[in-house]
Amino acid sequence: MDPAIRLRGLHKRFGDTIAVADLDLDIAEGEFFSMLGPSGSGKTTVLRIIAGFEQPTSGSVALFGRDVTALAPFARPVNTVFQDYALFPHLSVIANVEYGLRVAGVARKERRAKAEEALASVRLAGFEDRRPHELSGGQRQRVALARAIVLRPQALLLDEPLGALDLKLREQMQVELKELQRSLGITFVFVTHDQDEALTLSDRVAVFDAGRVVQLGTPREVYDHPRNPFIASFVGSSTLLEPDVAERFGLPAIATAVRPERVTLDAPDGGVAGTIAEVIYTGPEHRIVIDLDGVGARITALEPNIGAAQRRSRGDRVTVSIDPAAAAPLESDAPAA
């Protein structure tokens, strides 16, 4: 079966800057797919090329097996939820949601019913006659969602849709987005610079750096086995071990990334000795920075907060060990983080 979205040899240049470099990507039907990367990494450009707002310098975009590279945005079976929502300020909430149906020539009564249903699905029933500026950020977000899904797109493109919301609301909207995607059963392509969001929501994640996908995989693959130092530090936090330090831990002598929660302190079978340099209390856990003896390197460990019994403090001597299965060897050709 053809993938929902197939990008081949996609290249985009703005003047002298290369925004997207030779990208090949297949996104499956019904998949929640995230494009994760820092700003300027090309992820939004890829989304805009899929939507049709930008023309690729070279390469092709196919939606469900149909080449749409030359089609205008209004001729593509995808809809977009914009970063700043882009609601029409001169139209009421219901008129915003009806917009796509209206330009498609759907009869007034039918489009009203569909728009009301879409509003109800984002829990905004009763807000029909408000104007966008009378709504809170979270409510505008929902209107933007309703406006896009009311057209039953074959794929929904979301450009950092939660970026403008505060933390509580963002977490709530994450859950709702996931539920919405499941109930609609359509492909979601989600652009974000927030690694938590990408890991929480996605079936698969593409990590972008400098116009390229540097890693593509399930959240677990990307988090547990980052391929290079950039990914290891951008997606979650890691300690990067130089080859000689990795060797001290009994790991292969290549650069390796270790997640702090996979570092064990004072394991029965010993490990590398060190001195605690810093203990940071974060509430649910303690973040412990250890100076390793003899190698001039530091490593960070994470221990759950289980009460006063195992409280550690600066200057304590500990041994540090790493489960070889939890260490991620990095590719040497990768750009430095």
Partner 1 sequence: MQLGRVARIVLGAITLVVLALIYLPLGVVFLNSISTSESLSWPPPGFTLEWWGRALHSTGALEALGTSVVVGLIASAIALVLGTLAAMALSRYRFFGKETVNLLIVLPIALPGIVTGIALNNAFRTLMGVDLAMWTLVVAHATFCIVTVYNNAFARLNASGTRLEEASMDLGAGLFTTFRLVTFPHLKSALMAGGLLAFALSFDEIIVTTFTAGTGVTTLPLWILQNMFRPSQAPVVAVIAVILAVVSVIPLAIAQRLTAKDAEAVSR
- The residue ranges that bind partner 1 (CB under 8 A) are 51-53, 72-74, 79-80, 82, 84, 86-90, 99-100, 103-104, 133, 147-148, 151
Please identify, using beta-carbon distances, which residue of 99 and 249 lies nearer to partner 1. 99
Please identify, using beta-carbon distances, which residue of 49 and 214 lies nearer to partner 1. 49
- Closest CB 310 distance from partner 1, rounded Å: 53
Cα–Cα distance list, 243 to 90, 134, 250, 278, 329 (Å)? 61, 57, 11, 24, 10
**Helices marked H in the chain — which ranges?**
43-51, 93-103, 108-121, 137-149, 167-184, 195-201, 219-224, 229-234, 243-248
In this structure, are residues 285 and 265 in contact, taking their beta carbons and an 8 Å threshold?
Answer: no
In this structure, are residues 31 and 82 in contact, taking their beta carbons and an 8 Å threshold?
Answer: no
Query: Locate tokens 């400098």: which residue?
Result: 210
Q: What is the arrangement of strands in the sheet containing 327-329, beginning at the earlier edge strand?
A: 239-241, 256-258, 327-329
Using alpha carbons, select from 10, 36, 73 the residue that is nearest to residue 219: 36
Q: 3-state DSSP: the chain helix, strand, coil percent, rounded to 5? A: 30, 30, 40
Q: How far is C-alpha 281 from the chain's CA centre?
A: 27
- Closest CB 271 distance from partner 1, rounded Å: 55
Amino acid at 112: R
Q: What radius of gyration do the chain's Cα atoms show?
A: 24
In this structure, are residues 125 and 116 in contact, taking their beta carbons and an 8 Å threshold?
Answer: yes
Please identify, using beta-carbon distances, which residue of 59 and 73 lies nearer to partner 1. 73
